[in-house]
Chain A
């Protein structure tokens, strides 16, 4: 599903974010990427959805060579991914329903299919009763659930999440993780950058630890491994 071969990323200002990364993530896996701030976790996720391009090495996602992709192919490539951010990134002037439907609208999905899918994913995140609310009327946890619903509404093969619980309290974080687990059970691959020790230690999924731009640990059913 995601294959990195000798992937390095050096930013224009010369700072090395990742060097010589070799990782294979298979379909249906649930992977945490952990490590200290500035170790390269975010870059790791950004490379996968081609926010950033690798400086060297080969990165294949969903069978596509990300480095060799033309910019006109990127939108179609991204339709096979769902992306969740720490700050939710919802549109404040659109309702819950519209926020989720927006992701289908911009890829010109048929209206009937859209209604069905949007209601389905809102059920999945448990917010079917809030369709007419605006994001400002929701709690942080609810907003993140909407963001997750938007990320999965186009049935992506991979969901990439960058610190999705970073702004949430432990209880809410746990609810969010349950939703991710449910999505993962449906066969969707999940790659999550996080520094939430409790979450990682309780989920017992594969853990990739990045330190000083290199992978220092790749552990099945791993733990966070750092002190908070």
Chain B
């Protein structure tokens, strides 16, 4: 394609954007809204995923021992655990220590424990740390097989809840995004249809003097992509601002929440949104041109 031809395509696209400025505005707004929501969902899902895996990496395995073991057996069990591959640290906590920790955590409400009298229902336990977070589950299962171990737990439920939440959000988000993308497609293809209609005479003449279909198509494709990219740009700017502000807030008040840092995270999402915007625009044009090209 010659540069002069490209210039011509872009000029034609800009002219018709201006000519249908109201519809162009509607298209850009719809795309912006759709992509903004897509962006928000992406940011949320990715952050929840990140939280889940951070938590997973921090968890230790609590190994509760059967109550009838003697000191020797306890020590032997400890040795067996520390010999397992992936185990980096084994800490013994006897039932008395566990009770005093429990009391400390209850604080003002220690009175609850008076009902127990002198009996201590808490088991002896090991706290086990692993070298690689993704091995937690595997190591916990291996420990569960060792003789004398009642059960071995890690923060499984919390992590699994988080993963379930992200899964649900992903499905909900996907449905919403598909719906919004359809709306954006519909509006863009309508905008382009107006342009095509306004220029049907021109298209007819182009066909008679021997313009190829692609030569006729390009200005409309570019117009559609401009609408899509314009919308994406607005979405990206808003998303970047909002996420930046959010990160500021979280760092000040909820510093323990492991949010993904703004860069390059938002940059990557922005690139994705731009690509999606351009594709929606191009697709919208193609839809409305398909019928028209059979002249």
B-contacting residues of A (Cβ < 8 Å)? Answer: 49, 71-72, 75-79, 81, 83, 89, 91, 102-103, 105-108, 111, 150, 154
Cross-chain contact of B210 among A71, A78, A89, A91 (Cβ < 8 A):
A78
List of A residues within 8 angstroms of B205 by Cβ? 89, 91, 102-103
Cross-chain contact of A107 among B4, B8, B201, B209 (Cβ < 8 A):
B209
- Of residues 1 through 47 on chain B, the ones whose CB sits less than 8 Å from some CB of chain A are 2, 4-5, 8
User: Does B206 count as interface, using CB distance less than 8 angstroms?
Assistant: yes
Q: How many A-B residue pairs have CB under 8 A?
A: 51
User: Does B163 count as interface, using CB distance less than 8 angstroms?
Assistant: no
Are B210 and A49 closer than 8 Å at their CB atoms? Answer: no
Are B202 and A107 closer than 8 Å at their CB atoms? Answer: no
B119 smallest CB distance to A (angstroms)? 89
CA separation between A161 and B210, bound complex, in Å?
16
| A-B complex: 5 closest residue pairs judged by Cβ atoms | A106-B211, A79-B210, A78-B210, A103-B209, A75-B212
User: Does B76 count as interface, using CB distance less than 8 angstroms?
Assistant: no
List of A residues within 8 angstroms of B210 by Cβ? 75-79, 81, 106-107, 154
Interface size on B, residues (CB 8 A): 17
CA separation between A97 and B205, bound complex, in Å?
15
Most buried by A among B205, B209, B215: B209
List of A residues within 8 angstroms of B202 by Cβ? 91
User: Does B95 count as interface, using CB distance less than 8 angstroms?
Assistant: no
Are B215 and A106 closer than 8 Å at their CB atoms? Answer: yes
CA separation between A83 and B204, bound complex, in Å?
12
A-B contact pairs, 13 of them (CB 8 A): A49-B208, A71-B213, A75-B207, A76-B212, A77-B210, A78-B207, A78-B208, A78-B209, A89-B201, A102-B205, A106-B215, A107-B209, A108-B5
Are A108 and B209 closer than 8 Å at their CB atoms? Answer: no
B209 smallest CB distance to A (angstroms)? 4
Known contacts A81-B210, A102-B209, A108-B5; 9 additional CB pairs below 8 A are: A75-B212, A75-B215, A78-B209, A89-B201, A89-B208, A102-B206, A106-B206, A106-B209, A106-B215
**Secondary structure call for the B interface:** helix
CA separation between A114 and B209, bound complex, in Å?
14
List of B residues within 8 angstroms of A150 by Cβ? 209
Tell me the nearest residue of chain A to B295, going by C-beta: A51
List of B residues within 8 angstroms of A89 by Cβ? 201, 204-205, 208
CA separation between A226 and B217, bound complex, in Å?
46
With A83-B208, A91-B202, A102-B205 as known contacts, state yes or no: A75 contacts B213, CB within 8 Å: yes
List of B residues within 8 angstroms of A102 by Cβ? 205-206, 209
A64 smallest CB distance to B (angstroms)? 13
CA separation between A164 and B195, bound complex, in Å?
29
Tell me the nearest residue of chain B to A92, going by C-beta: B201
List of B residues within 8 angstroms of A105 by Cβ? 8
B11 smallest CB distance to A (angstroms)? 11
B64 smallest CB distance to A (angstroms)? 75
CA separation between A154 and B209, bound complex, in Å?
9
Cross-chain contact of A75 among B5, B8, B204, B211 (Cβ < 8 A):
B211
- Of residues 227 through 260 on chain B, the ones whose CB sits less than 8 Å from some CB of chain A are none
Q: CB-defined interface of B210-223 with A at 8 Å, one 1/0 digit per residue?
A: 11110100000000
CA separation between A49 and B210, bound complex, in Å?
10
With A49-B208, A105-B8 as known contacts, state yes or no: A72 contacts B201, CB within 8 Å: no
CA separation between A111 and B209, bound complex, in Å?
17
List of A residues within 8 angstroms of B209 by Cβ? 78-79, 83, 102-103, 106-107, 150, 154
